[in-house]
Amino acid sequence: MRWTLKSKPTEEKVEKLAKELQIEETLASILCQRNIETFESAKKFFRPNLEDIHDPFLMKDMDKAVQRIEKAIENEENILIYGDYDVDGTTAVSLVSAYLKTIYPNIATYIPDRYDEGYGISYIGIDFAFDNDFSLIVALDCGIKAIEKVAYASEKNIDFIICDHHKPGLEIPKAVAVLNAKRVDCNYPFDELCGCGVGFKLIQALGSKRGQNIDDFIPYLDLVATAIAADIVPITGENRILAHYGLQVINSNPRNGIKALIHQIKKKQLTITDVVFIIAPRINAAGRIKHGNYAVELLTEMDFDSAVEFAKAIEVFNADRKELDKKITVEALSQIMENEEENKFSTVVFREDWHKGVIGIVASRLTETYYRPTLVFTKSGDKLAASARSVKDFDVYEALEECAEFIEQFGGHKYAAGLTLLPENYENFKNKFEEVVAKSIDKELLTPEILIDAEIELSEITPKFFRILQQMAPFGPQNMTPIFKSTGVRDNGYGKKVGSDETHLKLNLFQGDNQKTYNTIGFGLGNKIELVEDEFDIVYSLDENEWNGYKSVQLVLRDLK
């Protein structure tokens, strides 16, 4: 890895904040790096408060959205809650439909089929609404670019309310209301809500008309926190408050569906990282392997025993997903080696029987292995479909734009995209993509970078230091887990490879004349054991290790040299 030490804030700022908060300068420096420079901003950061949630009516079109839903209720219209099949979409549909059912019975949900309909609003979904007498569709986590589809619905006398967080195009769909803080004409104070977050603002607005306040909506925050974690949106501002309280709900009184998932994994206290790696993949697995409806049924189930049955089914989907993902990754890696493509600037692989639901995960795995822009193709009908993943600071969407002559359609953003093309264009596309990446990528980007917050002595890691670090959670984009560097450390001689396949590294480290040792684990670093016979440098984060009821601070190695 490339080790990059973040630039230090000015000494004056750091000293002032350290004094005001009565904390070590290292911690004050980390806060300043995150634009927390005053006592007041630190108070808001360390003590998230639901009173700091923004008024939902500050969002453009919120009043129109509320009026249209109230009118539908008054006229006894059927309302269809429509959302994408990923975690953000299914949690958003679960949240809005669960709330609306507390005030009105004529509510149904719709998740498009990943394979027959694809991402976002579909003509099949609109036809379903028409055939079943729905006159209002509330679309969540999708729809901001569905100009023709909203027009098509309009011809059938079906109104749309769009709740989205993706970047709008030049034209906004002609819906009754378009809730999206990223609209250039929207002055909402925070524009990084996820789709479920926008859905939350909608129910908050509807509730305020019924005399409900923010406390009445706390039970819905387990869904919002799950979506924030899964959709990798910045955990700052309003998202930080929602995630903080949502985690409390997840750990104290979650809805039956989430409780059933936790019941399956038998873990007591979940962090935001657990939500990302344990809860989210299981919700996602339903849409990848079977159908996103399973996730909505799980998350809206009122009976715990029934929720447990859904969770068991989803556990099977998740196990199937893991098997497929493992098998396809092995096949893809062997394809790269057979074709002697290890030294290229991009990875493009294809096999027609690979499962479309997991090619995005496989693309991420291959990116981890070779660390270069990656596309994984499979057959989809009479076309080829692919998932693209990128490396930090390389815009794969722009690279695909340069290959547009060989692509049927594509969409996505800087680091992840999807596309389809005709089989006869595959080789031409593959060659063109490699050519584009080779000429435009900064070669330094082909080595993963680790950003280091501060260089410290191991002796600085005290219980108080760790306690304050823990209060900086939940971590995520724009508030990542702090990474430290320490130099000239040694192992006490008992270092060893651990794990069933000996891929992890277990050490007890000390530094200089201080003989205190620090329990250390390096996941996936077992092959570096020969580097620990003498002094070495490390980059790491800090975590709590619990063994036989005893808790201690452990170093989680990210790299060593």
Give the closest residue to 108 by CA, choosing from 93, 119, 118: 93
Q: How many helices (H) and strands (E) would you count in the chain?
A: 19, 19
CATH number of this structure's domain 339-446: 3.10.310.30
pTM across the whole model:
0.91
Express each pLDDT in 221-257 by its tens digit.
999 999 999 988 899 999 999 999 999 999 999 999 9
Judged against a pLDDT cut of 80, whether residue 118 lies above it is answered with: no
Express each pLDDT in 95-106 by its tens digit.
999 999 999 999
Express each pLDDT in 464-499 by its tens digit.
999 999 999 999 989 999 999 999 999 998 889 999
Across the range 451-469, mean pLDDT stands at 95
Q: Which CATH class is domain 56-313?
A: alpha beta
Decide which of 500 and 79 is more confident.
Answer: 79
Judged against a pLDDT cut of 90, whether residue 265 lies above it is answered with: no
Pairing between strand 484-491 and 454-455?
parallel
Q: Which of the four pLDDT bands, split at 50, 70 and 90, describes residue 555?
A: very high
**Length, in residues, of the chain:** 561
pLDDT more than 90, % of the chain: 83
The reported pLDDT for the residue numbered 68 is: 98
Express each pLDDT in 172-206 by its tens digit.
999 999 999 999 999 999 999 999 999 999 999 99
Judged against a pLDDT cut of 80, whether residue 549 lies above it is answered with: no
Express each pLDDT in 400-424 by its tens digit.
999 999 999 887 778 888 899 999 9
Judged against a pLDDT cut of 80, whether residue 72 lies above it is answered with: yes
Q: Which of the four pLDDT bands, split at 50, 70 and 90, describes residue 335?
A: very high
Does the 450-561 domain belong in CATH 3.40.640.10?
Answer: no
**What are the structural domain ranges in the chain?**
56-313, 339-446, 450-561
> Which residue do the tokens 């392997």 mark?
289
Q: Is 396 exposed, middle or buried (0-12, 13-18, 19+ CB in 10 A)?
A: buried
Structural element, H or E, at residue 452: strand 449-452
Across the range 354-381, mean pLDDT stands at 94
Alpha-helix runs per DSSP H in 253-358: 256-265, 272-274, 280-289, 293-300, 304-338
The reported pLDDT for the residue numbered 387 is: 94
Across the range 108-115, mean pLDDT stands at 91
Judged against a pLDDT cut of 90, whether residue 513 lies above it is answered with: no
Q: Which of the four pLDDT bands, split at 50, 70 and 90, describes residue 354?
A: very high
